[in-house]
Structure 1
Amino acid sequence: MNNSKQMSEKMIVGLILACVGGFLDAYTYICRGGVFANAQTGNIVLFGVRIAEGRLLGSVKYLIPIVAFVIGVFIAEIIREGYRDKDAIHWRQIIIAFEIIVILGITFIPKGGWHDTVVNVMVSFVCSLQVQTFRKFNGNAIATTMCTGNLRSAMECLYKYIHTKDRDALSSSLQYLVIILLFIIGAAVGAIMANVIGTKAIALSCIGLGSVFLLMFRKQA
């Protein structure tokens, strides 16, 4: 499968993955100890704070998901290098399948205590796979598991449009804002499902991931 004829950089894929990203963040916050597992900034800050407090053992709690995130990036690159020239299946589909397997495994892990720590590490791992694998949609660098960079880019492009009347800049700004909107929608759905279903709710994110997996069998128009 030639990358230029793939669906993996189409906006529809980015929108679905942003929805999944929001869903996972809401799930870990509500069901797994009030943690946002998608981005690692908070963990890095808290890791430094615990070290400053002399609580070296306590810092390990925040180091583990950081390491899981790093490992996920390395695995995504290993898969890309090993399977990017394969014709039967796109390497990004292998990543998506890997994400689905990990998420389905989470459904068997009970709630509370160290179980939640394990789940948050697994979600951090999944999100690192996703953020490393899907980084550009419609020519724009877009993150699907966090919003800070997207919000910055949206406002930068909006300013450019106001200043230059460049309609391409306006289009890019709107794309970033729609991605953020889908992330919010995913978070809202995740919150509702987590409260209704509980820890098994994370399995619903596989619907979006499965859709992306199937979409990537289609070639771009």
Structure 2
Amino acid sequence: MIKLPKIKLMDFTDPSESFLLAVILAAAGGFLDGYTYIGRGNVFANTQTGNLILLGVNMARGRLAASISYIVPVTAFLLGTYITEKIRIRYGGLKHLGWRQIVVALEALVLILISFMPHYSDNVANAMVSFACAMQFDAFRTMNGVPFSSTLSMTNMRGAIEYMTNYREDCDTEKISRSFEYLITVLVFTLSVFIGSRLTYKYDDSAVLFPASMLLFGALIMFLKKRDKTAPA
């Protein structure tokens, strides 16, 4: 019989890997996919595989102009990954401010700027969103010490099934907890796509301020937990 899994919401050892932060990042990632697809011309913010598929389909149909709208976010995603690595190398040694906090704060700032961009600049807006999502994707690769993606739910679904299968073999309760952590992030991501889509219908461009707020909250969580970790006994 499967016991009720124990999930540790916050981890003071490494705040950037906490389950709570993973949920926040997954929520922001799902929201942004719904936002760009509904409000910015049927382009995915995170799922560059989807953009590559749509790029190939449009090229096969001879729609070269439409193809550009998918080339732009993919290129921006690559650039965002490069910039994130430069930030990690340059600021990875800071003691009182984590480099991942810089990444999250910068991502939130980019999203705030996007909220002021009109629809005739959708290609630029999508490029900026993909740039921001690439930073998040590259900076946050693990959750409580295991591989994690705030943008690729397939990675998390695979992890959930892997740990569930291993639990059936040795009944290690920690593995069932890991499996549920993965499943919750997938659920949050999916639900956030729905919420992001609905709020984009209602608030249009300004809807992007919701995930921006989530990310700022995530940066604050990392800061506060780092303060608690280094506080004198």
Aligned-residue offset at 1:175: 0.7
Deviation per CA, 1:94-115: give whole Å up to 9, x if none: 101110111011011112xx52
Whole-Å separation in 1 of the counterparts to 2:42 and 2:67: 17
Equivalent residue, structure 2, for 1:33: 41
Deviates more, 1:45-54 or 1:184-193: 45-54
The alignment covers a number of residue pairs equal to 216
How far apart in 2 are the matches of 1:168 and 1:87? Answer: 31
Given residue 79 of structure 1, which amino acid in structure 2 is its aligned partner? I
Of the structure 1 ranges 52-61 and 185-194, higher mean CA displacement relative to structure 2 is found in: 52-61
- Does residue 162 (structure 1) correspond to residue 162 (structure 2)? The answer is no
Structure 1: how far apart are the matches of 2:174 and 2:13? Answer: 23
Deviation at 1:206, TM superposition (A): 1.7
Q: Counterparts of 1:34 and 1:62 in 2: how far apart (Å)?
A: 9
Report whether the alignment pairs 1:152 with 2:158. yes
Shifted more, 56-65 versus 151-160: the winner is 56-65
Shift of the alpha carbon at 1:117?
2.0
Q: Is the 8 A contact 1:21 1:146 kept in 2?
A: no
- Deviates most, 53-62 or 183-192: 53-62
Distance 1:154 1:29, change over 3 A: same
Counterpart of 2:115 in structure 1: which amino acid? Answer: T
The residue that corresponds to 1:7 in the other structure is: 15
Which residue, out of 181, 188, 196, partners 2:187?
A: 181
Alpha-carbon deviations, 1:78-98, whole Å to 9, x = none?
000000111231111110111
- Kept in 1, the 8 Å contact 2:43–2:70? The answer is no
For the 8 Å contact 1:39–1:124, the answer to whether it is kept is: no
Higher relative contact order (CA 8 A, sep 6+): 1
Deviations 1:36-82 (A, max 9, x none): 22111022223344555666665433222111111001100000000
Judged with a 3 Å threshold, the aligned counterparts in structure 2 of structure 1 residues 84 and 52 are, in CA distance, closer, same or farther, namely same
Runs ≥4 residues deviating over 6 A: none
What CA distance in whole angstroms lies between the structure 2 residues aligned with 1:144 and 1:38? 9
Question: C-alpha distance in 2, partners of 1:46/1:195?
Answer: 23
2:211 to 186, 194, 205: 205
Normalised to the residue count of structure 2, the TM-score between the two structures is 0.84
Question: Counterpart in 2 of 1:127?
Answer: 133
Secondary structure of 1:35's partner? coil
Partner of 2:101: 93
Unpaired segments ≥5 residues, structure 1: none
TM-score (norm 1): 0.89
Q: Which amino acid aligns with 2:205?
A: T
> What SS class does the counterpart of residue 17 from structure 2 fall into?
coil
Quick one: structure 1 residues 61 and 207, their matched pair in 2 at CA, closer, same or farther if it must change by over 3 Å? closer
What is the percent sequence identity of the aligned residues?
39
Tell me, yes or no, if structure 1 residue 107 matches structure 2 residue 115.
Answer: yes
